[in-house]
Structures are given as C-alpha cells and as structure tokens.
Amino acid sequence: MPNASSPTGAARPAASSPTGARPTAVRVARTAGLLALVAVVLLFPSLAADPFILSVGVVILSYAVLATSWNLVGGFTGYISLGHAAYSGLGGYATALLILRTGMNPWLALLAGGLIVAAVAIPVGIASLRVRGASFVITSIALVLILQLTFQSWHTFTGGSNGLRVPRPFGTEVLRPEQHERFFYLHAGLLALALLTWWLIERSRLGAGLKAIREDEDKAQALGVPTFAYKLTALVVSAFFTALGGGLYALWFGYLDPIFQFSILVGTYMVLMSLLGGVRSLFGPLLGAVVVGYAVEVFKSQYGDTQLHLVATGVLLGLVVLFMPDGVIPALTSFVNRRRGAASIREVSAEELAQQREEAAR
C-alpha cells in the first residue's frame, strides 16, 4: 500500500491536467478509425471478388450483430448466456411464421418478431435473474434445448425437423449477387443500430448501474441500484436485437432448420466472439466476430463435416476463459501498455473525461 500514509497523496497513475494537443489527437484518431470502418463496410460488396466472398461477408456481419446484441447483457452485467441462440432462432421463426401465416409484410414481420421475442425474454428473465450466478446460465442452456425439442416436434406449426422455407422479401427477379449485396447493407445497418444502442446505454445512468452490477452486485444494490429491474431491462433489449439478427438472417438465408436455429454452438460463438474481442468495449464483439466468423467459415470449407470445429471451438473457449477472461484484445493492449509504461491507459481515459466535461459545460 504505497499511498496508505497520505490519503490525499497522488495515485500511481498520473491524472494530471490534460494537455491541449492529446485529446484532439485522440479524437481525430477515433473519428478516422470509425470512418475507415464505415468505409470498409460500405465498399466491401464492390470489392468482393465473387458472390461467395460476399455471402461470407453477410455471415460475418450477422455474427457481429448477434455478438454485439449478446454483449448488451453479457458485457454490461457479467451474466453469461450460453443460450442466446434461443432468441436468434425464435426471431427467425417468428419472422417466417408471421409472413407465412398472416401474410404480413416481411419487414414488419421482422420488427414484430423482435418485439415478440423481447416479450418472451421477460418471463425467462424473471425466472433466471432473481438468483445470482448459476441459474441464469443453466436457464439459458435449457431454453435452447427445450426450443430445439419443441420446434423439431411441432410439425403442424413449425414444419418440424423438415425445416421451414422463408419467403424472400425481394422477388426472384433480384439476382443472387444483388440479394447478397442488399442483405449485406441491411445487416450493416442493424449492426450500426445495435452498436449505437450499446453506446447510448454505456453513457446512461442505466449503463452506470449495469456496470456496477457486473463489478459488485451487492454493493450496487446497497447504493440504490434496482439490480433486478436493470438486469431484466438489459436482457430484454439484448433479446430484441438478437431476434432481429436472427430474423434478418432468416430472410436472407430463406430456410430454417431447428437443429441449426436452436444450436448450442451458435450461442457459444456469440460468447466466444465477445470474450475474445473484449466484453467491456463497444467494438470488441465486432472484432471477435470478424476473427471467429472468418475462422469458422474457413474451418467449414477446409474440413467440411468433421467434428474438428467443435474441438477447436472448445479448446479456444477454454483457453480464453483460463488465461484471458477479459478478452484477447484487451489482454494484448494492456500487455503492450505495460511495456510502454503503465500510465498511458489512464491518461487516455482522463483526457476523454476531460473532453466530456468540456462538452457538458458547453
């Protein structure tokens, strides 16, 4: 305890007055990074060599939507759901069934599907979020298993294990590459929406309460945070976006199979992507989705039907949990920062806050 003797002494990280130049530099770098990301996404379809590459792009963006949505509950509250495929699968089925049974407009059906799934998440959250720790993750796994069972068996309603054909929102006159391109942009739009939501919550009082829950739930409650209501809110918002992701994917892919919709593996990917990229950061899950999604697609095309991708996923998840529970990218960043001198991370956040102070004062 180096500073115990002087309560008013300086802490190790120097939080001195921010220099004039650095914040602008950081802001410029950030804006440039964001613009570059947007540019890459916008240009990708025209740069993609063939429709296959473009379809891989759609798949990766879809993973990014799911992982970012997962992170709305996993990242903020620290409650890990291994069964988020339940919400994406339900989103897909809800969208498809609304179109097929009621003749609803596909985009309206997508939105309605998201709202229905958000409503389904409420009782699930009530059952699993009141007690801490194990119940939530147990329930999440059970939910996927039960949905897989029911959707496989309920032939008359869901098409059962034969699957369900989803009508395409764009007519057959739109050719395949064109379909891919449109859905690529649609997924990018949904991703932007999910990221924006994360960002808004991050800055809100709700976000402050949620992060406090992740750090120390008892303490948060003692400070007046209504923890149960907050956790439930995060879960419902997360389920909504996950369902939109599942529904949009269903509209693109055009076919639903309960085995793949309610797959434990899909839920695992969401966790792995978020953990890998870092659950505390806005773009962490996106980054994880690009890495893992690409690896999954390569694995599938290289090794086809073998079970090796299960082993690879399992081993990778185990390694991340054991050695880098905060994520690979955060671990690398802090490693690099430590080598460059401890203060740098803190200085950046100090400057950011100073910057926000300026903005607030304006």
Partner 1 sequence: MTGALFAQSLVLGILLGGLYALLAAGLTLYFGVMRVVMIAHSAFLILAAYLAWFFHERSGLDPLLSLVITVPLFFVVGYGMQRFLVSRLRPISLTTMSVLLTFAVALTIEGLLGFVWTGTQRRVQLPYSGTSLEVFGVSIAVVKLIAFALAALSLGALYLILRKTSFGRALRATTQHPEAARLVGIDTDRVAGLGFGLGLATAAIGGTALALDYTIYPSLHWHWIGPLMAIIVVGGLGSIPGAAIAAMLLGVAASLLQVPLGTTWAQTVFYLALFVTLMIRPQGFFGGRLAQRF
Partner 2 sequence: MSTPTHHSTTHSLSTTGLTKSFGGVRAVDDASVTFHEGEINALIGPNGSGKTTFFNCVTGMIRPDSGTVSYQGRDVTGLPPHRIARSGIGRSFQLCRIFPRLTVLENVLVAVQPHGLLQRLRGSRNAADVGRARELLARVGIDHLEHAEARDISYGQQKLLELAGVLMGDPHTIMLDEPAGGVNPALVDRIADLVRELNAEGRTFIIVEHNMELVMGLSDHVVVFDRGRPIAQGTPAVVQDDPLVLEAYLGV
**Which parts of this chain interact with partner 2 (CB under 8 A)?**
1-13, 15, 200-201, 203-209, 211-212, 215-216, 218-228, 233, 280, 346, 349-350, 353-354, 356-357, 360-361
Among 48-56, 88-96, 139-147, 244-252, the segment contacting partner 1 (CB under 8 A): 139-147
C-beta of residue 192 within 8 angstroms of C-beta of residue 178: no
Between the CA of residue 190 and those of 182, 197, 247, what are the distances in Å? 12, 11, 11
C-beta of residue 165 within 8 angstroms of C-beta of residue 254: yes
Binding mask 271-310 for partner 1 (x = CB under 8 A): x---x------------------------------xxxxx
Q: Which residue number, 233 or 268, has a Cβ lying nearer to partner 1?
A: 268
Interacting partner of 271 out of partner 1, partner 2, none (Cβ under 5 to 8 A depending on kind): partner 1
SS3 (DSSP) at 304: coil
Residues 71-90 that bind partner 1 (CB under 8 A): 78-80, 82
State the minimum distance, in angstroms, from the CB of residue 337 to partner 2. Answer: 13
Of 126, 200, 336, 353, which one interacts with partner 1 (CB under 8 A)? 126
Between strands 255-256 and 164-165, the pairing is antiparallel
> Considering the rule CB under 8 A, would residue 331 count as an interface residue with partner 1?
no
Q: CA 270 to CA 282: how far, in whole Å?
A: 15
Compute, in degrees rounded to 10, the torsion defined by CA atoms 167, 172, 175, 176. Answer: 30
> Considering the rule CB under 8 A, would residue 226 count as an interface residue with partner 1?
no
In terms of phi and psi (left: phi > 0; alpha: psi -120 to 50; beta: otherwise), the region of 289 is alpha
Q: What residues form DSSP beta bridges with 164?
A: 256
Which residues fall within 8 angstroms of residue 309, CB to CB, at 6 or more apart? 296, 299, 300, 303
State the minimum distance, in angstroms, from the CB of residue 37 to partner 1. Answer: 29
Among 23-31, 126-134, 228-236, 341-349, the segment contacting partner 1 (CB under 8 A): 126-134
Of 101, 325, 338, 357, which one interacts with partner 1 (CB under 8 A)? 325
State the minimum distance, in angstroms, from the CB of residue 130 to partner 2. Answer: 10
Between the CA of residue 14 and those of 21, 90, 191, 336, 359, what are the distances in Å? 17, 50, 37, 18, 23
> Considering the rule CB under 8 A, would residue 135 count as an interface residue with partner 1?
yes
Q: What residues form DSSP beta bridges with 255?
A: 165
* Chain positions contacting partner 1, by CB under 8 A: 78-80, 82, 123, 126-128, 130-135, 137-139, 141-143, 145-146, 149-150, 152-153, 264-265, 268, 271, 275, 306-318, 321-322, 325
